A = this chain, B = another copy of it.
Amino acid sequence: MSKQEGITTKKDKDFSEWYTQIILKGGLADYSSVSGAIILKPRGYELWEKIKEEVDKRIKKLGVKNCYFPLLIPESLLSKEKEHIEGFFPEVAWVTEAGNSKLNERLAIRPTSETIMYDSYSKWIRSWRDLPLKFNQWNNVVRWEFKHPIPFLRTREFLWNEGHTVFATKKEAEAEKDQILKVYHEVLNDYMALPGIVGKKSKKEKFAGAEYTVSVEFYIPNGKAIQGPDFHHDGQRFSRAYDIKFLNKDGNEEYAWQNTWAITTRMIGVMIAMHSDDKGLIIPPKMLKNKVVIVPILFEDSKSKVIKEAKTIESKLKKYGAFVDLRDYKPGYKFNDWELKGIPIRIEIGPKDIQKKQVVLTRRDTNKKEIVKIKDIEKKTENVLEDIQNNLYKKSEKLLKNNLVKVKDLKEFKEAIKNKKLALAPFCNTIECEDIIKDKYNGVKSLNSPLDQKKGKNKCLFCRKEADSLFYFGKSY
Contact = CB atoms under 8 A, between A and B. Distances in A.
Q: How large is the interface on A (under 10, 10 to 19, 20 to 34, 35 or more residues)?
A: 35 or more
A434 interface: no
Contact of A72 (B30, B93, B130): B93
Interface in A375-422: none
B70 A45 contact: no
A208 B372 CA distance: 57
A359 interface: no
Given A1-B126, A144-B99, A72 B107 contact: no
B99 A97 contact: no
Nearest to A137: B45
Work out how many copies of this chain go into the complex.
2
Given A32-B70, A74-B33, A109-B71, A144 B98 contact: yes
Contacts of A328: 129
A288 to B, nearest CB: 14
Interface in A16-41: 30, 32-34, 37-41
A453 interface: no
Nearest to A42: B65
Contacts of A73: 33-34
B106 A327 contact: no
Contacts of A48: 68
A157 B72 contact: yes
B130 A77 contact: no
A34 B66 contact: no
A175 interface: no
Nearest to A96: B96
Given A97-B94, A109-B95, A71 B140 contact: yes
Contacts of A49: 66
Contacts of A39: 67-70, 120
A142 interface: yes
Contact of A130 (B2, B44, B140): B2
Interface stretch (A84-92, A160-168, A180-188): A84-92
Contacts of A90: 99-100
A79 B276 CA distance: 40
Interface string A309-342: 0000000000000000001100000000000000
Contacts of A120: 30, 32, 39
A139 B138 CA distance: 10
Contacts of A74: 33-34
B116 A32 contact: yes
Given A39-B120, A98-B144, A144-B98, A70 B1 contact: no
A109 B109 contact: yes
B98 A97 contact: no
Given A119-B33, A142-B71, A96 B94 contact: yes
A98 B65 CA distance: 32
A95 B98 contact: no
Given A33-B77, A120-B32, A67 B41 contact: yes
A265 to B, nearest CB: 8
A92 B96 contact: no
A153 interface: no
A73 B142 CA distance: 13
A142 B70 CA distance: 10
A325 to B, nearest CB: 13
A265 B296 CA distance: 45
Given A34-B72, A107-B34, A129-B327, A67 B94 contact: no
Contact of A68 (B3, B40, B106, B107): B40
A1 B129 contact: yes
A67 B91 contact: no
8 contacts: A1-B126, A2-B127, A33-B74, A71-B142, A71-B157, A72-B157, A97-B106, A139-B140
